[in-house]
Amino acid sequence: MISDLLKYYKVGNVKIKQKLMKDHAHYNVDTGTLELSTKYKTIKPSQVKEFLITIIHEIRHAMDAKKYGWKKFKYMYEMEIAQWQAENPKNNLDDWYKHISFEVEAEQFGQKNWKKWHSKFKKDKLF
Ligand SMILES: [Zn+2]
């Protein structure tokens, strides 16, 4: 399932690491690695939507990293955070991810694409 997604979005060569974590997935900009929760093999039906959105969201980061080269992507990503924080000193600084373009685009990308994968994986009886 994950490899189908990675291949489709042409990030089949992204480094993947499985680890125990709270979220379903996370793209580590420091290492250029897509980290997946080890829990993903026992996903509950109620979590499928969130799971797919998260994976596709993180794949979008991997696509951006591939497009720019991940060191440049990391730099651009961090510059955007720094800029947002400098411009919004009164905001809750933990809110940055709702505002920077890479995160907004990745989230829209996940929201837009999860359904078609859901139907496909359901047809293949993967859920
Ligand atoms: Zn993200």
Ligand 1: distance of its center to the CA of 95 in Å?
A: 12
Region 89-97: mean pLDDT is 79
Ligand 1: distance of its center to the CA of 98 in Å?
A: 9
Contact 121, 49 (CB under 8 A): no
Ligand 1: distance of its center to the CA of 90 in Å?
A: 23
Ligand 1: distance of its center to the CA of 10 in Å?
A: 18
Each residue's pLDDT tens digit, 44-77: 889 999 999 999 999 999 999 999 998 899 999 9
Ligand 1: distance of its center to the CA of 106 in Å?
A: 6
Ligand 1: distance of its center to the CA of 103 in Å?
A: 5
Nearest to 59 by CA among 100, 126, 109: 109
CA atoms within 13 A on the CB side of 89: 1
**Token reading at 34:** 């897509």
Nearest to 58 by CA among 92, 116, 97, 115: 97
Number of continuous H segments (helices) and E segments (strands) in the chain: 4, 3
Ligand 1: distance of its center to the CA of 2 in Å?
A: 17
* % of the chain residues with pLDDT over 70: 99
Region 9-31: mean pLDDT is 89
Ligand 1: distance of its center to the CA of 86 in Å?
A: 20
